Amino acid sequence: MPKSSNGAGKSLVRASLAIHEPPLGTGTRPGALIKTFDFDFNPAQLSLSRAAQWKVTPTVAARGGPRPEFMGSEPRAMSLEVFLDSSDRPTSDVVLKKVAALLRCCDVTAKSVAAKQPSPPWVVFQWGSFSTARFIAYVSSIDVSYTLFGTTGVPIRATCQMRLQEIPRKSRRQNPTSGALTARRVHRVVAGDSLQSLAWREYGDATSWRAIAEANGIDDPSRLPTGIELVLPAAEEVRR
């Protein structure tokens, strides 16, 4: 039995990684959603870290030692393990494709190159109401270990160690009680949906459809294919 099936892996709420185009210009809001990476097994463990920078300047006059000067806080970092397994389908290439999707998080996107602002995707890790672990980040490293192979030599089990580095945002876009990024939702479009109806349902204001269009890089609001996933910005972002 895979180790990720123990403990947190049994949770009914699945963790996911929303992968976005980087923003254009100097903004700190992620661009259009590229894809949502859904975890097969929830992480059994997450490691979060943050550091504060202090400067100490030695001085002869201070007998008890100089007073440290606070220089600022560093962004958060998170390490997590992604366990992938398709051993029940020995000829499947699902694991290979999912690993490739994660590795692409370190590749420059074609749209950012075309805009002459080359950058890898920006990501948001999400796991239910675990808001402390929700922040906009870039993938700083991915280490992959293939541990089981099918009859054709294709990997059918892998463990990926990921490290995410937070991209700082202005404090007015944060939750004042926890410092955590306000939650965005991902909505899968069904028949009958429109940007206006989604804006009314989400924010109580149909004219806020432009915020949804901007967050997803939609140029023609009349064309909304069924089945695509849309990022719905937090209400605080729409109202600011």
CA 167 to chain centre: 11
Tokens, residue 163: 């490290």
Residue 102 tokens, joined:
């994660």
For the chain, the distance separating the N- and C-terminal CA atoms, rounded to the nearest angstrom, is 48
Mean pLDDT of the chain: 82
Spatial distance between the Cα atoms of 235 and 132, rounded to a whole number of angstroms: 19
pLDDT tens for each residue of 124-150 = 998 887 878 888 899 999 999 999 999
Q: Where in the chain is the domain with CATH 3.10.350.10?
A: 184-240
CATH number for the domain whose boundaries are 184-240? 3.10.350.10
* Model pLDDT, residue 77: 93
Mean pLDDT of 92-105: 94
**pLDDT, position 8:** 53
Average pLDDT over residues 45-74: 80
Query: For 18-37, what is the mean pLDDT?
Result: 85
- Would you state the pLDDT for residue 187? 84
pLDDT bin (cut points 50, 70, 90) of residue 81 is very high
Residue 39 has pLDDT above 50, yes or no: yes
Backbone angles phi, psi at 82, to 5 degrees: -110, 115
Is domain 1-50+71-175 in CATH 3.40.50, yes or no?
Answer: no
Q: What is the model's pLDDT at position 62?
A: 58
- Which of the 8 DSSP states describes residue 186? E
Q: What is the reported pTM?
A: 0.65
176 falls in which pLDDT band (50, 70, 90)?
very low
Overall average pLDDT of the 28-49 stretch: 88
Percent of the chain with pLDDT over 70: 84
Integer CA distances (angstroms), 145 to 39, 107, 118, in order: 17, 19, 29
Give ranges for CATH 2.40.30 in the chain.
1-50+71-175
C-alpha–C-alpha distance, residues 117 and 119, integer Å: 6
Average pLDDT of the residues in 168-180 = 47
Q: Residue 175's pLDDT is what?
A: 42
Can you give the pLDDT at residue 184? 66
Residue 11 has pLDDT above 60, yes or no: no
pLDDT greater than 70 at residue 153: yes
